[in-house]
Amino acid sequence: MEDLYIRIEECGGRLTTSIIEVHDLCYTYPNFAEPTLNDISLTIERGDLVLLTGPSGCGKTTLCRCLIGLIPHFYGGELTGDVFVSNLSVKDHAISELAQHVGFVFQNPENQLFALSVEKDVAFGLENLAKPREEMRKNVDWAMDLMGIGDLRESAPFELSGGQKQRVSVASVLAMKPEVMILDEPTSFLDPVTARKLFEIVKSLNEELGLTVVLVEHRLSLLSTYVNRIIVMDKGRVRLDGPPLDVLTSKEALSLGIGIPKIMQLYQNLVENNVILGKPAISVDEFAGAIRSLLKK
């Protein structure tokens, strides 16, 4: 299985490590005059763990829909530019074919669950691909164990809490063993402790299996320490893209009104009051470390 993830593909005579490529993407929903996405270009490398953020309505979910082929195949509208996932152009490949490479956890788990039992929901994608029964059982058990929902196997999805539904949605995508997983606000129904657990699972899949992950989230303070890159959108455009520290300390991040982690604001206040703390801290642990070394001096 590990082989599935770490792979550098020969593509048109060039060696590429990128798994998602977006070139000059513009998109307008049907019957709308104004485009929702404007001139987006970005590349996501294999093994990246990316946080996609930005104000509500800036187009994050719409961009995700483009990455999994729901746009243009399901939503229609006008798309210009190109989107490639695993070297497949989303314009030219069916959603079902793209789904074998890229898994999507919907913003609202209600949109993902429809079978009569949790187990059937987790197995749904594999059944559609007509995978051998043995492989299917192994993948379903692995994904359910990982998400801690083994005891919900026989439950009806509609009986579950929002948080449980969210964990079932993630398991149903993981069971497909995609190369890229896109999670659209996967913790909106989770308390901070369960949200952190989910991020830790995602991080370990990224580190141990090389799974590429795009996480859409508003909770920057929870997530900034997990990711290697942050992309900030505003009004249908990519405004910032880089390592967490660079993005979060940029002046533009403040002006875009994204939720800069409180610990960074506190750090900034101290620096402005001439407390010299060295490299900016993103997490509470880093901050505590900086204070400890200051006290030792």
Ligand X SMILES: Nc1ncnc2c1ncn2[C@@H]1O[C@H](COP(=O)(O)OP(=O)(O)OP(=O)(O)O)[C@@H](O)[C@H]1O
Sites of contact with ligand X (CB under 6 A): 29, 32, 36, 54, 56-62, 75, 107
Shortest Å distance, C-beta 134 to Mg ion:
37
273 binds, among ligand X, Mg ion, none (CB under 5 to 8 A by kind): none
- 36 lies in the site for Mg ion, by CB under 5 A: no
CA nearest to 199, candidates 220, 176, 178, 177: 220
Q: Which amino acid is at 161?
A: S
- 61 lies in the site for Mg ion, by CB under 5 A: yes
58 binds, among Mg ion, ligand X, none (CB under 5 to 8 A by kind): ligand X
Shortest Å distance, C-beta 159 to ligand X:
26
Rank residues 22 and 175 by Cβ distance to ligand X and give the closer one.
22
CB atoms within 10 A of CB 252: 12
What is the spatial distance between Cα 35 and Cα 15, in angstroms, rounded to a whole number? 34
Shortest Å distance, C-beta 104 to Mg ion:
12
62 binds, among ligand X, Mg ion, none (CB under 5 to 8 A by kind): ligand X
CA nearest to 22, candidates 231, 248, 246, 257: 231
Shortest Å distance, C-beta 180 to ligand X:
18
Residues 6 or more apart whose Cβ sits within 8 Å of residue 180: 19, 20, 44, 85, 86, 101, 102, 103, 211, 212, 213, 214
36 binds, among ligand X, Mg ion, none (CB under 5 to 8 A by kind): ligand X
Rank residues 51 and 122 by Cβ distance to Mg ion and give the closer one.
51
What is the spatial distance between Cα 269 and Cα 22, in angstroms, rounded to a whole number? 38
Answer for the pair 90, 98: CB distance below 8 angstroms, yes or no. yes
Helix-strand-coil split of the chain, %, nearest 5 = 40, 25, 35
- 62 lies in the site for Mg ion, by CB under 5 A: no
Rank residues 171 and 258 by Cβ distance to ligand X and give the closer one.
258
- Which chain residues interact with Mg ion by CB under 5 A? 60-61
